[in-house]
Amino acid sequence: MQDFAVITNWIHNFLVSTLGCAPWLAVTIECVAVGVGLLLLYALLALFYIYFERKVCAFFQCRLGPNRVGPWGLLQSFADMFKILIKELIELKNIDKFLFALAPYLVIIASMLAFAVLPWGNGLQIIDFNIGIFFLLAVSSIGVLGILLAGWSSNNKFTLIGALRSGAQMVSYELSIGLSVVTMVCLAGTMSVTGIVEAQDRLWFIFSGHVSSIIAFIIYMIAGTAETNRGPFDLPEAESELTAGYHTEYSGIHFGFFYLAEYLNLFIISGVAALLFFGGWMPLHIPGWDAFNNIMDYIPSVVWFVGKAIALSFIIIWFKWTFPRLRIDHLLKLEWKYLLPINLFNLALMVCIIIFGWQI
C-alpha cells in the first residue's frame, strides 16, 4: 500500500533543507498550500456532485439529464457556477444585516472543518489527533447555527419556519449519528481517525462487528440523510410549502454557499460512513486470501476512499428520488420512537460483543 507520508515529508525537507526556509516558514507555506488545495477540492467535488445527482435523478426518471453544455453535459455545472458568481447580491430591508451575512459563512466553515478531518489516503490526512472523531462531531454541529441564523435574520415567516424545522431535525438526528459513531468507536477502541482505519486492515467493521455493525450502518445512513436536509427529510426547504426554506431570501454567492455546503455535507456523511464501516482508505482484505489481498493493495488508497464515498453517496441520492417527503411529526417520531431506542440497544449489544470477544 502506497504511503503518501513519503511525499509530504519530502516536500517539508525540500523547503527546509534545499530552499533554506526556517521551520516556521516551511510550516506556514505548507498550511497555505493545504488550505488552497482543500478549497479547490471542495469546489470541484461540489461541481461533480451536482452533475452526478442530476444524472442519477434523470436515470431514475427515464430522462437524459444535462447533455448540452460540453460532451455529455460535463460543463453544465461549471456554467451554473459562473452564472451564480456573477449574480447580484440583493440588499434587503428590515433584516439583521450582520447575522444575515454571517450565516452562510458559518455553514461553509463547519463543512470545511469536517471536510479536513477525512482520511483521504495512507498518510494523506490534514487533521489527525487522538480525538479526531470527537472533533468531527463537534465541528459538524456548527452548521445548524448558520441555518438558524439564516432563518431568523431574514425577517421572513417562511425562512423562520424552515430554520425551526431544520433545528429540530438536525438536533434530533445528531443523537442517532452520535450513537452510531460511538458504537463503532467501541469496536475500534480508539477515537483517532487513523487508528480506526488501521484497525480494519484485516476486515472492514461492517463484516467484523456482526449484526451490530449492520444495524449501526443502516441507522447512520438514515440519520445522515436527515442531517444533510436531503429528501425525503427536506422539510426545512420544502418548495411546495416554504418556497426555499431558510435560504429563500439569499441570492448570488450567498445562496451558492448554502448550495455548496449541502453537496459537500453529502460527501462528508458518505466519507465518515466509509471511514467507520468500510475501512476508509483501507483495501478490501479477506483473511487467508493472500493473493487477493496483494492485488487489492496495488489500488491507490485515495481511489479506495473516494470510490467508497461516492458509492455511499449514490445510496443517499437514491433515497431522495425514491421516497416521498415525510411530515414533520412523522420525521420526529421516526427518530425519537424508533431509531433512538434501537440505537441504544445496539450500543449495548456492541459492548456485549466486545466484552465476550465475539468480534471477528
Distance of CA 221 to the CA centre of its chain: 11
Please state, in angstroms and rounded to a whole number, the distance separating the CA atoms of residues 267 and 273. Answer: 10
Predicted pLDDT at 346:
93
Predicted pLDDT at 241:
66
288 touches 202 (CB < 8 A) = no
Predicted pLDDT at 25:
85
177 touches 262 (CB < 8 A) = no
pTM for the whole thing? 0.90
Q: How many CB atoms lie within 10 A of CB 101?
A: 14
Predicted pLDDT at 1:
63
Residue 356 makes CB contacts below 8 A (sequence gap 6+) with none
Walk along the chain (360 residues) and give the pLDDT tens digit of each residue.
677 778 887 887 888 887 778 888 888 888 888 888 888 888 888 889 989 988 998 988 888 888 888 888 888 888 888 888 888 777 778 888 888 888 888 888 888 888 888 888 887 888 778 888 888 888 888 888 888 888 888 888 888 888 888 888 888 888 899 999 999 999 888 888 888 998 888 888 998 888 999 999 999 999 988 888 787 887 777 666 666 677 778 888 888 888 888 888 889 999 999 999 998 888 888 888 888 888 888 888 889 999 999 999 999 998 888 888 888 888 888 989 999 999 999 999 999 988 888 777
Is the torsion defined by CA of 205, 206, 211, 215 positive or negative?
A: positive
Q: Is the peptide bond before 341 cis (omega within 30 degrees of 0)?
A: no
78 touches 230 (CB < 8 A) = no
Domain extents for the chain? 88-355
> Nearest Cα to 224, choosing from 168, 282, 167, 175?
175
Predicted pLDDT at 217:
94
> Nearest Cα to 214, choosing from 318, 319, 333, 353?
353
Please state, in angstroms and rounded to a whole number, the distance separating the CA atoms of residues 181 and 141. Answer: 14
Please state, in angstroms and rounded to a whole number, the distance separating the CA atoms of residues 149 and 96. Answer: 9
